[in-house]
Structure formats: structure tokens, C-alpha cells
């Protein structure tokens, strides 16, 4: 049985592992990095272009990030958090393109306007107030609002064709949105790591066990799924960035910090249109509002999607339940994750989230006609013959213990690490890919700051001009950084 010794082992060849590996290589070039992936190549789960919406989440159009309180006020805090996090990703990609570490940015990022779209007077009043608040902030400069059918038709004609001209609508539009192919980006990042030396990637390799070493660090036992060969890895630090599979690996590690964590797997479907004549007439990512009582994952959106040079339209997602934690996983994933420590949180979440249960049951049993009716709320003239059903990626939402309620269902992403910081995992789902750099910065500060060489924070500042500052508080810094990244990445210049 062969043994390999490395400094850091990255488990999972998606955007998270590729981003953390690239950051570590930039900060400490002599680190020995090993990447382990269970599938035959990178970015085949949530990072795959067809397993996500490709939205560069910046809080532009996602209405669940700007909730309205009972008193009618709207908070921008969550939207600004996500806006700032995505900007860090843009800054990092800008640095890598300038440095030659990434190739043509057009292979992974395109400018696509972001829109919000609602029906009915009550929702229109909410969107009008949301726009008033957001347009006054420099992070959302250039956001326009309209209730006029003709104006909305200029932005996105498919939304208006066939619609009753008397129907109350409202829409916002911001030109500085993006569509991101996280699969293509992951491949470019890994190509750079291969070329940089002291890096190895092992595909079709499953992690069988993780055990602490008496002298510090971890020993991983892996199995080659092609040859059946078992190999050992001794490593100082382990990063579990395996998407939905991270919870299972975290539980295998046995660290006490995982107690109370569970996962709620959710599957997804898209309606997809690749007719060039139709796809070329829709150039926007248009997000609506979830039905009352429905979870954030149910937010419908009609998206321009650019994959391998071809334009598509996606509509969805239609959620469902599958006990798999990965699209390529096993139906036993969820049952095997049940532990004495997370059973109470799971039961508490089931008790407190009956609308979610009802929503998922409705989605599972929805007919093709019901799915298409949801699309026609956005695109009234849609024809079934133009669309096909496609399976999206698998998501595992976080369930965690809560002192007051017993357990809570948490949307978004969360970093969990061992007390000695030798093992760290990312759990959860959207907007994880868009916020990958911000999440990896959190990991650097919590798990690597004592081992990185002197001057690493100055290096970060050179790569990320807003590091240590805040673009939400400094309008001049925000405009300067976004103008520079737009020029390098081939995106529309930000509005003044």
C-alpha cells in the first residue's frame, strides 16, 4: 500500500477546492497540494455548467436576499454581503487573468443583465420600494425600475409577448450582471495548479476513512475506483469541499464539531431551450418571487445561459426530494447520515417547516402541465415543443442544532472546522460558488494564518484591492475596482 505525504489535501474537484488551492499556491508557492476527486474529472457535480444557474450572485435580482419586515421596511444587509463577496471573486479572477494564470475570461464569464420581475400590485409595491433603497446605494448604481410593458419588453421581450397589457407588472434591470460558467473556471484553475508544480490530482478516487495522526494532521485511506487500489495519504490539513458529500466525510472524521449537523437533500429540474432563434431574443437573468410560504430554493427564474459558446434559456428550478447527497451519489446517503446527535435537530426542522414539506410534495408530484404553467407566468407565449426537461445538481441544505428551537434549517453556506484547524469543510449551497473567494478567505484566516509565510496579507491586498477595506462603505473604491475588473474581464463598465 503506497503512502503519499503532502501539506494540504483538497477533497473535491469543484470550484471551492480549485479556488482554495489557487489561493494557497499564490500565498505559499512551495506548499505540496494533493486533490482527490471521486469522479473521473473535475466539476461534474454542483460546479458543472448544467447543474447550476450560472448566476454571478451579487444580490442584484434575488428577492429573497432583501426581505420585507412586518413594518414594511426592507433590509439590504444580506444583499450587500453577497454583493461584496461576489466582488472579491471578480477581483481574484481579474488578478489571475492579468497574471496569466487564467486564459480568456470569455470562456468562463459573460456580461448578462440581472432583472427582478413581479406580477400584481402588492408585489409591485414591494419591488418599487426595494428599488428605491437599492438604487440609492453605490453598489447598485445603474439599477432601473419600470412598470411600463414597453420598457420591460426592451429589456426582455419574452416577458411581455402574449401578456395582457392591463396586467400589473414591475421590473428592475441592472446591466452589470454576469453569467458564470463555474465548470470552465474550475478547469482553468486546475490547469494553472498543474503547471505550477508541487500539485497532484487523483480522479476516480474515493476517500474511505480519515483518522487523526498522533503526531498531528490526518491519514486518509483512499480507493481507486478504476483499479481498486488502496492508497494512504498523510497530510497536515484536509479541506472537504465535496459539495453535498462534505457532510458524510466530516462525519467520518469524527471531530466533535460536527455533532448536531445534518443535511436536507434537495434535487432539481430545469426546463431548457436551445433553439437559437428563441435563445438569442432573451438576454437577461430574470428572478421572480417565491410563492407565499415557499422556501428560498423555490424562487423561479428565466435565465440566459452561455455554455461552450452557445446560448440557452433555462427556467426553474423545480425542486424535489432525493435521498442522495450528490447527483452521482447513493440513495442511502441521507439515511446513513443520521446520528444520535442530529436526530433531534432533524425532527425539529420537520416540525417547523411544514410549508417546505408541502412545497416539495407538490413539486415531486407536479405534472408537466403544471410545470409549464409556471413558465408561462414569465413567458406567456412559451410552447412546450421548444423546451426539454433537464436534471440539475443536487443540493444539501444545512440542518444544525439550535438551543431555542432544537434545530434550524439554514440556507446558504457555512464553514465548519476542527478545534485545531487541521480539518475544515464547507457545507450548504447557493450562493457558495459566487462567494468562493470570500469563503476561502474565511478558511485562510481560521485555519492557515499561523502557517502562512510573513507578508501573506500584503499579498492578498495586491490580489484583492478591497481586502481590509469595504466597497459598500467606500464608493470611490467600489467604482475604481469595478471599472478595472470590467475592463480585464470584458464586462460592461459600471454605471456612475
Query: Which of helix, strand or coil describes residue 61?
Result: coil
Ranges of residues in the chain with a pLDDT under 50 are: none
Q: Tell me how far the alpha carbon of residue 249 is from its chain's centroid.
A: 20
Residue 359 is predicted with a pLDDT of 75
Q: Give Dmax over CA atoms of the chain in angstroms.
A: 73
Would you say the pTM of this structure is higher than 0.85? Answer: yes
Is the N-terminal amide bond of 431 cis, ω within 30° of 0?
yes
Question: pLDDT digit string (tens) for 296-331?
Answer: 666 899 999 999 889 999 998 888 788 999 999 999
Predicted local confidence at residue 292, as pLDDT? 61
pLDDT digits (tens, 9 = 90+) for 247-258: 999 999 999 999
pLDDT at 290: 77
* Cα–Cα distance for residue pair 377/6, rounded to 1 Å: 54
Give CA angle at 474 (471, 479), nearest 5°: 70
389: β partners: 271
- State which H helix or E strand residue 90 sits in: helix 77-99
Amino acid at each position: 500500500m503506497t503512502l503519499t505525504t503532502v501539506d494540504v489535501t483538497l477533497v473535491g474537484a469543484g470550484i471551492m477546492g480549485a479556488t482554495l488551492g489557487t489561493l494557497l499556491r499564490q500565498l505559499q508557492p512551495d506548499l505540496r497540494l494533493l486533490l482527490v476527486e471521486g469522479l473521473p474529472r473535475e466539476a461534474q457535480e454542483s460546479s458543472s455548467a448544467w447543474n447550476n444557474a450560472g448566476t454571478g450572485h451579487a444580490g442584484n435580482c434575488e428577492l429573497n436576499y432583501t426581505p420585507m419586515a412586518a413594518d414594511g421596511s426592507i433590509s439590504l444587509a444580506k444583499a450587500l454581503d453577497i454583493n461584496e463577496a461576489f466582488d472579491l471573486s471578480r477581483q481574484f479572477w481579474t488578478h489571475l487573468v492579468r497574471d496569466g494564470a487564467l486564459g480568456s475570461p470569455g470562456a468562463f464569464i459573460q456580461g448578462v443583465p440581472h432583472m427582478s420581475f413581479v406580477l400584481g400590485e402588492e408585489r409591485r409595491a414591494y419591488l418599487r420600494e426595494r428599488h428605491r433603497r437599492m438604487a440609492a446605494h453605490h453598489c447598485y448604481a445603474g439599477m432601473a425600475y419600470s412598470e411600463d410593458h414597453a420598457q420591460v419588453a426592451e429589456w426582455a421581450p419574452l416577458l411581455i409577448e402574449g401578456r395582457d397589457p392591463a396586467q400589473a407588472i414591475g421590473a428592475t434591470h441592472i446591466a452589470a450582471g454576469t453569467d458564470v460558467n463555474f465548470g470552465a473556471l474550475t478547469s482553468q484553475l486546475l490547469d494553472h495548479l498543474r503547471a505550477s508544480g508541487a500539485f497532484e490530482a487523483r480522479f476516480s478516487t474515493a476517500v474511505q476513512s480519515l483518522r487523526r495522526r498522533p503526531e498531528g494532521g490526518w491519514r486518509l485511506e483512499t480507493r481507486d475506483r478504476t483499479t481498486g487500489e488502496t492508497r494512504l495519504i498523510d497530510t497536515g490539513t484536509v479541506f472537504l469541499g465535496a459539495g453535498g458529500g462534505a457532510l458524510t466525510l466530516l462525519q467520518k472524521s469524527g471531530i466533535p464539531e460536527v455533532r448536531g449537523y445534518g443535511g436536507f437533500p434537495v434535487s432539481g429540474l430545469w426546463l431548457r431551450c436551445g433553439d437559437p432563434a428563441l435563445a438569442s431574443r432573451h438576454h437577461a437573468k430574470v428572478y421572480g418571487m417565491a410563492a407565499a410560504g415557499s422556501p428560498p430554493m423555490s424562487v423561479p427564474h428565466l435565465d440566459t445561459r452561455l455554455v461552450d459558446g452557445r446560448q440557452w434559456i433555462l427556467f426553474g428550478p423545480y425542486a424535489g426530494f432525493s435521498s442522495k447527497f450528490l447527483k452521482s451519489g447513493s440513495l442511502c446517503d441521507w439515511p446513513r447520515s443520521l446520528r444520535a446527535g442530529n436526530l433531534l435537530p432533524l425532527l425539529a426542522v420537520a416540525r417547523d417547516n411544514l410549508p417546505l414539506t408541502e412545497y416539495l410534495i407538490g413539486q415531486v408530484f407536479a405534472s408537466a402541465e403544471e410545470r409549464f404553467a409556471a413558465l408561462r407566468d414569465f413567458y406567456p407565449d412559451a410552447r412546450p415543443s421548444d423546451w426539454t426537461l433537464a436534471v440539475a445538481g443536487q443540493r444539501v441544505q444545512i440542518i444544525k442544532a439550535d438551543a431555542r428551537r432544537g434545530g434550524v434549517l439554514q440556507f446558504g453556506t457555512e464553514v465548519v472546522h476542527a478545534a485545531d484547524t487541521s480539518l475544515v469543510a464547507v457545507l450548504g449551497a447557493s450562493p457558495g460558488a459566487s462567494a468562493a473567494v470570500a469563503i476561502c478567505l474565511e478558511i485562510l484566516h481560521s485555519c492557515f494564518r499561523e502557517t502562512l509565510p510573513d507578508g501573506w496579507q500584503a499579498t492578498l491586498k495586491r490580489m484583492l484591492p478591497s481586502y481590509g477595506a469595504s466597497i459598500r462603505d467606500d464608493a470611490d473604491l467600489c467604482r475604481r475596482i469595478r471599472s478595472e475588473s470590467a475592463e480585464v474581464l470584458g464586462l460592461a463598465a459600471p454605471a456612475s
